[in-house]
Structure 1
Amino acid sequence: MSTYKNARMPMLVVKKNKKTYWFILVLGIYCLLPFLVLSFYTYPQADDFDFAVRDSQNSFWETQVYSYLNWSGRFFGTCLTT
């Protein structure tokens, strides 16, 4: 009897992990849903237009160097905006 019980144990763990996975996935989507809906109502502001002009006039690396030396000193954030 104990052999049969031990043989079923891994199957129960897999089912619990599957339920937990789906619960976390659905919860994550549910939490991101308001941001997705609100993103349809956003409009570019003054700094967005400034970034667009800056990026169209300079190359990627020129923008990185200029922003690092004169604006923020952060590589990753500037990389995301260019």
Structure 2
Amino acid sequence: MDAIKYPLSINISDKTRLHEVIQGLAYIIQIWNNFSDEYLAAKLIARIERRWKKWEQPILILSCILHLEYRLKLFNNRNINYVTMGS
């Protein structure tokens, strides 16, 4: 569980950037997807996904798109709906 400490510590910092929140969540999801206890992993991933639905997703996603290093490399262009992203 030491692998989870770093992204969690970043996400609770008052200096956290928006793109770091998404990176931290993606990293935590990857860890739980490979966890040996599938039941626990499924429950925790479902909880993270419920919270994700409550957040300002367009702002977080836009922070990655506008980041100079990441841009659209992290996204599948077929899944991005530019029309509804700003609504």
TM over 0.5: no
1 or 2, which has the higher helix percentage? 1
- TM-score, length basis structure 2: 0.30
- Kindly indicate whether structure 1 or structure 2 has the higher relative contact order, using CA contacts under 8 Å at least 6 residues apart: 2
- When Rg is computed on C-alpha atoms for both structures, the one with the higher figure is 1
Superposition TM-score, scaled by structure 1 size: 0.32
